[in-house]
Amino acid sequence: MLLPRRRFLRSAALTGLAAGTLGLSDRALALVPQRPALLPHEDFSFIFLTDTHIQPELDAAKGCMACFRQARTANVDFTLQGGDHIFDALGVPKSRALSLMDLYKQTADTLGHQVYNTMGNHDIMGVYTKSGIEPTDPLYGKKYYIDNFGAPY
């Protein structure tokens, strides 16, 4: 049965009015979860970088270095890298993927502070068959990223 809009609204209003006038006992209020107080903490600042897509072609490494040089001038506590560190490990031979990751890590090391990394789709090795990398390869897929940066957050 469909309830006409006006009848629904009138019923909802009466229900709310009844609930408000009945009130809740102290005991019932005690059962309502309370938001914990914020813990004291020190302020911090960070940089968020993403999609650096580093590669030696098209001066991508030069552009990435310029970005990281600018980041070094900021007074921050750490950097978050949002993924797609390189371009790209999906469909290239293993040697190419490894050299791209080495290039990225050398560049990121110049930041001079902690970098927390997250995995992007371009950071996964060999999932396109044109890469020639077999799924049995120890670095296949996410393992490539995990070996270079740790857990794939």
For residue 102, being part of any structural domain is answered with yes
Sheet holding 114-117, edge to edge: 46-49, 78-81, 114-117
For residue 34, being part of any structural domain is answered with no
Closest CA to 148 of 131, 125, 127: 125
- Can you give the pLDDT at residue 17? 47
Convert 25-37 into a string of H (helix), E (strand) and C (coil): CHHHHHHCCCCCC
- Can you give the pLDDT at residue 109? 86
Q: What is the pTM of this model?
A: 0.70
For residue 37, being part of any structural domain is answered with no
Residue 133 near residue 93 (C-beta atoms within 8 A)? yes
Angle between helices 94-108 and 142-149 (to 10 degrees): 30
Number of domains in the chain: 1
Q: Give the residues of the chain that fall short of pLDDT 50.
A: 17-18, 21
- Can you give the pLDDT at residue 89? 95
- Can you give the pLDDT at residue 64? 87
- Can you give the pLDDT at residue 25? 62
At 83, which CATH number? 3.60.21.40
